[in-house]
Chains A and B, each alone.
Chain A
Amino acid sequence: MPAAPGDPPPLLALEDIVKDYPSGAGSFRALHGVGMTVRPGEFLAIMGPSGSGKSTLMNIIGALDTPTAGRFRFDGEDISALSEPALARLRNRAIGFVFQQFNLLPRLTARANVALPLVYAGVPARERLARADALLARVGLADRTGSRPAQLSGGQQQRVAIARALAVGPRLLLADEPTGALDTRTGAEILGLFKALNREAGVTVILVTHDPGVAAATDRVIRIQDGRILHDGPPTPDALAGGAGHHYAAVAP
């Protein structure tokens, strides 16, 4: 998508991102020069089969990992070479993570889970709890603030996780297979929540998924395979189905 003049500056700008992992004597290249741009307020999906480099790309976008080569600017700031504390700070202030397995801390109540990122942001206790309650109300769990994760259903746990991801008011919501552990109906509800957050609050949302049904709900699909971007555009049936399938044709009998 070429940036038109007058567009807001990109939130994410990846140029020629290469990521190598040590593997045996040599190294394995998980990403072969990936480039992409995400503008604020976008709602997009990153698709790809396992081993495609999708998770590696997500880790780099989420500031959990740094690229071997290439340039990654987050909100205009080059973060390819940031120190560990600076990356932690970026994760804390600018990025909200949502995981497939919810990843709530089982010992803490829903409220304390949501307030946890605010602890690391140095927000005072009173404001932490007030924000946590407000966000739990926003995701429809106003009456479950004192529950522990084990007392909540999967869908409810994922709502708590989304509230937690929103706690610091992030620029980017990064969700890794957020509906993967939920039944279809609950998954659709969670997807609807992401969409509402994107439309109403203007949060940039990136869903990492292999599920075409999930990707179809977004405005833009980036399909990645073997460490390269195959498709970057609207969620057309062709894009969702994995290109023209010619990659498979090569090995078909």
Chain B
Amino acid sequence: MNAPLPRPEAPPTGGAGMVPLLGPMLAEAVGALSANRLRSALTMLGMVIGVAAVILMLAIGNGVQNQVSRSISALGSNLLIVNSGAARTGGGFSQGAGSRPTLTLDDAEAIARLPDVVAAAPTSGFTAQVVAGPTNWLTQVTTTTPAWFTVQNWYPEEGRAFSAMEERQAARVAVIGQTVARELYGASDPLGERIRVRGVSFTIVGVLPERGQGIGGVDRDDVVVLPLTASLRLVQGGGAFRRFVRSITVAATTPDAMADVEQAIADLLRRRHGLSPREEDDFSITNLTAVGETFQETTGAISLLLGAIGGISLVVGGIGIMNIMLVSVTERTREIGIRMALGAPRAAIRLQFLLEALMLSITGCALGVLVGTGLAVVASEFLPFPTVISPASVVAAFAISAAIGIFFGWYPATRAAKLSPIEALRS
């Protein structure tokens, strides 16, 4: 070998900067982190827990919100509920909604004739022990007119709804929900069977399809629907109360018409009830969509809060990364000196340690997403609603983790880059 040592091809100079170093430095970061497996794993654990918490919390929050919007759309997005009695107005003598019946069947018929009103269902209800043969079941009894099925947009899947004729004639017929059907009749067909409510026997003519849980986990399939007149006379005992109902549920033609319809109902009822301008309403009108929106805003705020709590553990995870990177820089001072002697510019040293911090945070994030997703799936089994993992929350978790890796890796990496090569070699 008498020839001079060959020099490598002149590599591209300037411009490219640190880019050609990315590949080999990534490989080195993997090597450095796997050389210290336990430490790397424990450091990542902070990120794993933080990300898993965020993903799980947001999944639960999303689940709640989905549930609420499903409940609202199931209720019908253009429903108004008119309740007897004044709304709570404050002061010592406020009356709870529905405390004193002031609405009548005639009010409901008058409302039904208003423009933009599809139907108005006068509704009362009570809780009762219902009996079928030897079995009994505590359920919610709703007494109403056939308009109720229209307003609720909920028609029997087996059998039929009771007719207006049957309602007027106080026919002893009943429509039941899935829960009642299951509890009283099990697997057998309830159609044509008899059901006793407060000692009066009704024939089951329809079974409503399953509707699932409502707001707050109420089982909306746990219901018995009876004709209003039949129940006024036979179940509630008639008398002075017989023309009164607790509430009237009104369906408007479109969500946009809700405000006008609400005003029209208020004007109509004040006129019909002969209220002078000084007197307060003896009824209250609830816009379910508005209630739902409020509820949704609340749950949104709650899920943000839960996410923020998860975010705090992410920050703690980031501090763990910074801590371990500082230890690593101290331990590897000599390595840093060697690399500088071999020609590593300070920027390359910084890049190396930044990549290690980033790898810790991103890998921790990936594991956290897996754990969080797993927990969310398990949580669905125990919660009354399914959790929902939004892709946006996963993307956000990765973005935030990367930001945390850079933020908390910057200081240790800069410290490594600022070392004097001579001092570092001497260590």
Interface residues of A (CB under 8 A from B): 59, 62, 64-65, 84-85, 88-93, 97, 99, 103, 105, 107-108, 116-123, 125, 127, 131, 138, 164, 166-169, 197, 200-203
Contacts and interface: CB of A to CB of B under 8 A. Distances in A.
B343 A91 contact: yes
A122 B342 contact: no
Contacts of B209: none
Contacts of B199: none
A123 B23 CA distance: 12
Nearest to B424: A64
Nearest to A134: B6
A122 B16 contact: yes
Given A64-B422, A120-B345, 16 more contacts: A59-B422, A88-B344, A88-B345, A89-B343, A89-B345, A91-B341, A91-B342, A99-B425, A105-B335, A120-B344, A121-B343, A123-B9, A169-B5, A200-B1, A201-B1, A201-B5
Contacts of A105: 335, 338
Given A120-B348, A138-B1, A168 B16 contact: no
A105 B340 CA distance: 13
Contacts of A62: 341
B345 A97 contact: no
Contacts of A117: 342-343
Contacts of A127: 8-9
B35 A107 contact: yes
B347 interface: yes
A107 B341 contact: no
Contacts, number: 95
B25 to A, nearest CB: 8
Contact of A202 (B4, B6, B11, B345): B4
22 contacts: A62-B341, A64-B340, A64-B425, A65-B422, A85-B346, A90-B343, A91-B342, A92-B344, A97-B342, A103-B338, A107-B31, A120-B348, A121-B343, A122-B11, A122-B12, A123-B8, A125-B23, A125-B24, A138-B1, A168-B343, A197-B5, A202-B4
Contacts of B31: 107-108
Contact of A122 (B5, B20, B346, B347): B20
4 tightest CB-CB pairs across the interface, nearest first?
A: A92-B343, A169-B7, A122-B11, A88-B345
Contacts of A203: 4-5
A116 B343 CA distance: 9
B156 interface: no
Nearest to A59: B422
A169 B6 contact: yes
Contact of A121 (B4, B11, B339, B346): B11
Contacts of A168: 7-8, 343
Interface residues of B, number: 36
Contacts of A59: 422
A92 B342 CA distance: 5
B21 interface: yes
Contacts of A200: 1-2
Nearest to A168: B8
Given A131-B8, A166-B5, A169-B6, A88 B346 contact: yes
Nearest to A62: B341
Contacts of B346: 84-85, 88
Given A131-B8, A169-B8, A201-B1, A122 B344 contact: no
A184 to B, nearest CB: 26
B320 interface: no
Given A169-B8, A201-B1, A88 B340 contact: yes
B301 interface: no
Given A116-B342, A125-B24, A85 B347 contact: yes
B35 A103 contact: no
A123 B11 contact: yes
Nearest to B1: A200
Contacts of A65: 422
A194 B422 CA distance: 24
Interface string B28-43: 0001100100000000
Interface string B321-358: 00000000000001100111111111110000000000
Contacts of A167: 8
A201 B339 contact: no
B187 interface: no
A89 B62 CA distance: 54
Contacts of B25: 119
B165 interface: no
Contacts of A125: 23-24
Nearest to B341: A97
A127 B425 CA distance: 28
A166 B9 CA distance: 14
Contacts of B1: 138, 200-201
A1 B152 CA distance: 108
A63 B347 CA distance: 17
Q: Which of B3, B339, B342 has the most CB of A within 10 A?
A: B342
Contacts of B21: 119-120, 122
A42 to B, nearest CB: 15
A127 to B, nearest CB: 6
Contacts of A116: 339, 342
